[in-house]
Amino acid sequence: MFDGSTYKRCKCTEPKLDADGQPIIDANGKPKVRELGSACPLLKKRDHGTWYYYVKLPDGPGGKRRRPRKGGFLTQNQAKEAAQKLWDQAQGGIDVDTKETVAEYLDRWHAKRVDLKRKTRFGYRDFIDRIQTCPRPPRTPRPPHPGDVPADMGIQRDQEGQPGSG
């Protein structure tokens, strides 16, 4: 069992009040608000808010606290399962600090590559989509680097820049 917890919260906000109970106005003349988080009374309703987890991992280098958390789960069980998976990965030595999955990383990478030829871009998209059908994608091994090409894709680029065509 993972070390951590699950909780439900939502994005409802309420006006921030000063000591006199008056709304605090920000520099733009708008009332400041704060999220109710897990204190929202509507959270008793099944369809209000989403489930989150947080996992307590051993401190990182330099005593850096590591408490990965994530939300958007429909049920507490889903949040628990995801937390357990993360925990297991951490026990297996995978760097779980990065919140970005490889799938997210590749999507972000692809979205930026508007410089590619249409065919090439399409080929990469197809490649990425096929990677994403893997049941347990590993996490991003390191931060993205300029000119990065996902493994295997750079090797067979021909003059047209189209993967695998020759």
List residues near Zn ion by CB under 5 A.
10, 12, 40, 42
Q: What is the closest distance, in whole angstroms, from the C-beta atom of residue 79 to Zn ion in the complex? A: 17
Q: Where are the beta strands (DSSP E) in the chain?
A: 4-9, 13-15, 33-35, 50-55, 69-73
Q: What is the closest distance, in whole angstroms, from the C-beta atom of residue 24 to Zn ion in the complex? A: 21
Our CB check for Zn ion shows the closer of 75 and 156 to be 75
**Helices and strands of the chain, counted as H and E runs:** 3, 5
Identify residue 82 by its one-letter amino acid code.
A
Residues 70 and 30: beta-carbon distance below 8 Å: no
Q: 4-9 and 33-35: which strand pairing?
A: unpaired
Q: What is the closest distance, in whole angstroms, from the C-beta atom of residue 12 to Zn ion in the complex? A: 3
Our CB check for Zn ion shows the closer of 49 and 68 to be 49
Our CB check for Zn ion shows the closer of 10 and 106 to be 10
